[in-house]
Structure 1
Amino acid sequence: MAMNDILKAEDIKKALDAFKAADTFDHKKFFEMVGLKNKSTDDVKKAFLALDVDNSGFIEEEELKFVLKGFSTDGRDLTDKETKAFLQAADKDGDGKIGMEEFAALVLE
């Protein structure tokens, strides 16, 4: 499933443009700007599945670095600092990866 099936293309573009510069990514603002924060839990879980590239049931640190590309091929890579901050914010059980429930909680908080 593509993000365009869940979110509006213009919202994705606007959000990606807002965080084009390195070290500017803010997951709360991003999820709000793309409209994911206002979606149903089911839609948030669909977004998680789209971002879980290796279908492991988790978004690992390496996948997280490319999370913006999961929204659009035009998305940039997150910096190491941004990736670690994003992981720290979402990884509530401390296992070094983000599960579907952790992702949904982070997006909808």
Structure 2
Amino acid sequence: MSAAARSKTSQSGTRVLRVLDALKGHSLTGVSNGELAKALGESPATVNRVLNTLIEAGFAIRLDSGRFAHSVKLLQIAQAHANEMARSQGRINELTQRVAAGAH
């Protein structure tokens, strides 16, 4: 990222998004604070602050194991996107069929 681009972004916001991304694929098992810190090259204290922010905003949870995962709220956002794409694909398929039927 260029210096100009960095000056127009929030470092703390970027950290939050990087942690959110690092939780991907661990919805059931979660990821430990230490694993996240190591993977992201951040201190455990920084990752802890970010996780607390994500939990407060409802985008992450602390599992009974003490590990962290995406929250149901975030998974609902992903599901809503998938549903929208499926509906859109249905409309595209219908239009394609109409065009093909009229092309003969």
Q: TM over 0.5: same fold?
A: no
Computing the radius of gyration from Cα coordinates, the structure with the larger value is 2
Q: What TM-score results when the alignment is normalised by the length of structure 1?
A: 0.33
| Higher normalized contact order (CA 8 Å, seq sep 6+, divided by chain length) | 1
Larger helix proportion of the pair: 2
